Structure 1
Amino acid sequence: MARLSKDDARLHRQARQLVALARDLTDEEIDFVFEHYQESQNPGHGLDGAFFTPEDLAFDLTVEVGGDRLIDLCAGIGRIASLAAHPAAPHRAGRAPSEIVCVERDPEYVRVGRKLVPQAQWIEADVLALPPGLGGFDTAFGNPPFGGLARSANPTAYTGALFEYHVIAVAARLADSGVFLIPQPSAPVRHSGLVRPVRQHNGPYGRFTRETGLKLTSSSIDTATHARAWRGVSPRVEVVVCDYASARRATQAGRRPVTAPACPAVIGR
């Protein structure tokens, strides 16, 4: 675990104490936990590649999240979900969604998330081995772990190593659209923090789109303005959008498959 300053350690303890309370938390207390709960103090932090999305970047991402039924994949403690479900969020028109589901495999994050986003249905599960019955969502979204992490399964047509692409491909079965925060090298276009956009249709993205039939569109959000707000890392990232409904229509028209068979093939961790 990373060492915290005395002040950060004290605030983290206070956040955990709030989560442990038997009563519901106030809005101010929820904000306090989101701000001061330190993911670096969770034993699985390094292995899972969990770095929580900075608040302002999470809010910017919700500009792309629409619809009445939402699912957050790799939800952490629910920062993005809490903002996407807020009646004041973009596309919400003052009304909360009818359903929001958060999927997270770390039991500690699920415990905290249930306290911070109680209106969500929390599912403790590996995003690559989801329980049956999920689907019909308007938008799937999230900040999945990046890179070549160990996986429990290969449930889609994508055969590469990048975890973020596996999550995006899984979401094609769940929702009509997807909005995800991914590393800049994995996006079709790099533009955040750059003077001129750089297209990169070959390499990792080229493999992903060839194997899955899915195409990603880069959002206009400049994530570079939030680079210093991350804790413990300063990744270059992009927000990407995927129109799964259009991809499914193409599949139904007999053009090409979007994903592989529904049953995941288990692989070694």
Structure 2
Amino acid sequence: MARLSKEAAKAHERAAALVALDRDLTENEKEFVLDNWQEAATASHNLDGAFFTPEPLARDLSIEVHGDRIIDLCAGIGRLAYTCRDYWGRRWNNQPPREIVCVEKNPAYVAVGRKILPEATWICADVLTVPTLGLGRFDTAISNPPFGAIPRSGNAPTYTGGRFEYHVIAIAAMLADFGAFIIPQRSAPFRYSGEPYYREERDRECARFEKETGIRLGPGAGFDTSMYRQEWRGVSPKVEVTVCDFDEKPALNEAPDATPRVAELHLPRPRQRRPIVDVPLPDEQLAFPA
């Protein structure tokens, strides 16, 4: 494990002890594990680009999720899926729980995830093999995928470039009607987070991705994620929350030329929108094993 402060190391040990318990965890215990189980507990996390989603960023993305059947690609230990299950909101509205499928190739993360979301279907597999697994169609695909030139087993069927996040999005387009993703700002076709105003901007690789796949990514509700940069562990990436309605994907021959494009909109920045949950939560006490 990478060097941690004494406090962080002790919290990780407590989280690992909770995961090892031979019983279901309470909601508060699950939150503790999500907040304190360190991705650096596995030696390959840097090579794999595995950095877990900060909780408030996961809540922002969850606003974009809809439908009853959700798939989380590169799920880690389940922070995004746990947040996007909308557990209390669906209970409040007398809706059945969402069906959630989590795909993660690191078996250590899968073992933790099964304690966090035992009701989900956890699949330990390479994300690039998912289209061959016969999982059916999903309402929404979500992901905080590894960023950039991460080693991979192959290519998505419609994209051959070097950015791993684009391969994951291309796979998502084969599985779901809609997608919501956390990706590096440079990979988004717009600049918003931490910027004085929203503007469309595509670098050459982004334009190539659009041309090869026909996928158009957009800003969705428009979240400024820059306030969360210091809440990642070990990194502080500049990211955007981007969405795509895959059902409205244009034909491939309608994609733009693979040249950088910039369009500026000098509009006032809207206030940061954050989800408000007015649902009573259970009074559970966090208990650690003796």
Same fold per superposition (TM over 0.5): yes
Q: Deviations over 1:34-62 (max 9, x none)?
A: 11101112122111100000001101100
Query: For 2:180, what is the secondary structure of its paired residue?
Result: strand
1:58 pairs with 2:71: no
Change in Cα spacing, 1:146 to 1:62, as seen in structure 2 (3 Å) is: same
Aligned partners of 2:187 and 2:203 also within 8 Å: no
Within a 5 Å distance, the mapping from 1:183-194 to structure 2 comes to 183-194=184-195
Query: How far apart are the structure 2 equivalents of 1:233 and 1:16?
Result: 22
Residue 17 (structure 1) shift? 0.6
Aligned partners of 1:129 and 1:155 also within 8 Å: no
Change in Cα spacing, 1:89 to 1:202, as seen in structure 2 (3 Å) is: farther
1:164 pairs with 2:176: no
Residue 240 (structure 1) shift? 0.6
Give the greater-gyration-radius structure (CA). Answer: 2
Residue 197 (structure 1) shift? 2.3
Name the Cα RMSD after superposition: 1.8
Match for residue 223 of structure 2?
Answer: 221
> Which amino acid in 2 is paired with 1:139?
T
Match for residue 244 of structure 1?
Answer: 246
1:176 pairs with 2:177: yes
Aligned partners of 2:183 and 2:239 also within 8 Å: yes
Query: For 2:247, what is the secondary structure of its paired residue?
Result: helix
Match for residue 84 of structure 2?
Answer: 84
Could you list the runs of 5+ residues in structure 2 that have no partner in the other structure? Answer: 256-290
1:155 pairs with 2:156: yes
Could you list the runs of 5+ residues in structure 1 that have no partner in the other structure? Answer: 258-269
Query: For 1:88, what is the secondary structure of its paired residue?
Result: helix
Displacement over 3 Å in runs of 4+? 92-98, 254-257
Match for residue 278 of structure 2?
Answer: none
Of 177-186 and 202-211, more deviation after overlay is shown by 202-211
Aligned partners of 1:209 and 1:215 also within 8 Å: yes
Change in Cα spacing, 1:180 to 1:94, as seen in structure 2 (3 Å) is: farther
Residue 93 (structure 1) shift? 4.5
Q: Deviations over 1:25-83 (max 9, x none)?
A: 11111111111101112122111100000001101100001111000000000011011
Identity %: 53
Change in Cα spacing, 1:167 to 1:98, as seen in structure 2 (3 Å) is: same
Match for residue 275 of structure 2?
Answer: none
Aligned partners of 2:85 and 2:98 also within 8 Å: no
Count of matched residue pairs: 252
